[in-house]
Structure 1
Amino acid sequence: MRDVFKRIGGKAAVDAAVDRFYEYMLTDDRVKHFFANINMEKQRQHQKDFISFALGADGGYAGKDMRSAHQHMVDHMGLSDVHFDATVENLVKALRDLNVPEDIITEAGAIVESTRTDVLCR
């Protein structure tokens, strides 16, 4: 699974996917409220860094761990499986829009799914 970053097309592909992903997230009534009053330029960059790392890019990830990054949303905004599912759906749509092969989408989805417990602070 760690070679997904290269197979997806590297940094340029991840950047395009994250930008498209946020087009969906910011218009999705299930999740858009989580991004109110957020610096979206900074958020996009954090997401690009994390997704690159998670998909196997060289280098590390210097951002917060998933629990720390999402604890406030779980405790005060009700972040739940419904929102996580919407996030995965939006990522899959973004990847399909960019003509990423289905086998890579499946692998990327499995990687994202592996973060569910930490993102939802369980």
Structure 2
Amino acid sequence: MPDATLYDRLGGEPAVGAVVTEFYDRVVADDGVAHHFDDIDMSEQRSHQTKFLSAVTGGPMQYEGDDMETAHEGMGVTAAEFDALAGHLDDALREFDVADADRTAVLETVEEFRDDIVEPP
């Protein structure tokens, strides 16, 4: 599939959903970042994140949430926490044997949102 989107190469909605589930399993087990999700409906969060990741990788799902800056305003996410979250995403992608180039592409896409998510000290 030479014209396949990153979303297609990841395996579409079922695969993206599985990666998101694995990602959040890792996140909530990490005491360094889990506190950001204490009062969050994780089922809804997983659905929301699946739509977001699908949209930014070229999939057909539409992300209808707040922009990243608004969604993360006041959360106090640090650069180190962002790095930890990105690491969990990378590990989740590795868990599903996503090709190195595709993992890199997903992480580069997420990195584009760093300034909107991380709050200055």
Q: TM-score, normalised by structure 1?
A: 0.91
1:1-122 aligned within 5 A: 3-74=5-76, 79-120=77-118
CA distance in 1 between counterparts of 2:87 and 2:93 reads 10
Is residue 66–residue 115 contact of structure 1 (8 Å, CA) maintained in 2?
yes
Is residue 90–residue 103 contact of structure 2 (8 Å, CA) maintained in 1?
yes
Amino acid at match of 1:38: I
Quote how far apart the aligned CAs of 1:38 are: 1.1
Please tell me the root mean square deviation across aligned C-alpha atoms, in Å.
1.4
Q: Give the percent of matched residue pairs that are identical in Structure 1 and Structure 2.
A: 37
Quote how far apart the aligned CAs of 1:60 are: 2.7
Of the structure 1 ranges 84-93 and 60-69, higher mean CA displacement relative to structure 2 is found in 60-69
CA distance in 1 between counterparts of 2:89 and 2:50 reads 12
| Number of corresponding residues | 117
Flag as ranges the 4+ runs of structure 1 deviating above 6 A.
none
CA distance in 2 between counterparts of 1:57 and 1:114 reads 18
Unaligned ranges ≥5, structure 2: none
Q: TM-score, normalised by structure 2?
A: 0.91
Higher share in helix: 1
Quote how far apart the aligned CAs of 1:59 are: 4.4
* Greater RCO, CA 8 A, separation 6+: 1
Q: What is the CA deviation profile of residues 26-69 of structure 1, one whole-angstrom value per residue up to 9, with x for unaligned ones? A: 00121011111211111111101101001111243211110110
